[in-house]
Amino acid sequence: MEGFVKTEINNHIATITFSTPQSNALPKNILIDLAHAFTEAGADPKVNVVLLQSEGKVFCSGASFDELANINTEKEGHDFFIGFAKVINAMRKCPKLIVARIHGKCVGGGVGLAAAADYAIAVEGVEIKLSELAVGIGPFVVGPAVERKLGKSAFTQLAIDAHLWRNGDWARRKGLFAELHPTLESMEASVERLTTTLAASNPKAMMEMKKTFWEGTENWDTLLEARAAISGKLILSDFSKQAIAKFKQQVKK
């Protein structure tokens, strides 16, 4: 699957943009590039704030079903899902505040990206769901980030009803989105306002703030690796293989 991750730095704002042809589904190479992008932006002294965004109609549709269908061993499964773990941990460890621009649907890992951001700004019409159970696994890797942001009750609702879309207002009320705007124009204006303000703020103060925001997550390196192993095993089940094959057939139609 082709796609890209690119970083542009202007006026102390690092804008990380990703895109893939299949509704911004994330294959392993894009996950690796995203993790590197956050790590590099965090280490760059010219960067004071990071903006995460994507191109296309969908913000992120989660894991690449093409790659999921080709997983044949537990090691391959672990190696794929550890990509999501590395992205979330890179966002967690990035000493710069991360603002996410959410312009379209978020599915699975896309919800994880929104939750791992420090501040998410969305537009009305956005919908979210954790679809993992529908393909025989569960939101094990993104779960800690989603639960941290929304709370256990809301995370449980998303994880259990894997077929139900929740709208942007639900996501805002539960805390996934800090802002929900009626138009793309007002969302863009808010993104520009906030990132420009943060770019001119005290980097050391923001770094210390981020440390306090993420207190209690110091064990996530090992936690998310263990969660990746769970998903890596479950994706080999007959249920998962059949569910993914059915989904791909529906997409072709």
How high is the pLDDT of residue 252?
Answer: 58
Instruction: Please check the confidence at residue 251 and state whether its pLDDT lies above 80.
Output: no
Instruction: Please check the confidence at residue 1 and state whether its pLDDT lies above 60.
Output: no
Which amino acid type is present at position 11?
N
Instruction: Please check the confidence at residue 250 and state whether its pLDDT lies above 80.
Output: no
Measured distance CA(51)–CA(144) in Å, rounded: 22
Average pLDDT, the chain: 96
How high is the pLDDT of residue 247?
Answer: 82
Measured distance CA(98)–CA(16) in Å, rounded: 10
Instruction: Please check the confidence at residue 249 and state whether its pLDDT lies above 90.
Output: no
- Starting at the edge strand found earlier in the chain, the sheet holding 119-123 runs 4-10, 13-19, 49-54, 97-102, 119-123, 179-181
pLDDT digits (tens, 9 = 90+) for 27-42: 999 999 999 999 999 9
Strand segments, DSSP code E, in 118-246 are 119-123, 127-129, 166-167, 179-181
Within 13 Å, how many C-alpha atoms sit on residue 169's CB side?
1
Measured distance CA(65)–CA(68) in Å, rounded: 5
Domains and CATH numbers, the chain: 4-183 (3.90.226.10)
Q: Look up residue 37 and give its two tokens.
A: 């992008």
pLDDT digits (tens, 9 = 90+) for 173-225: 999 999 999 999 999 999 999 999 999 999 999 999 999 999 999 999 999 99
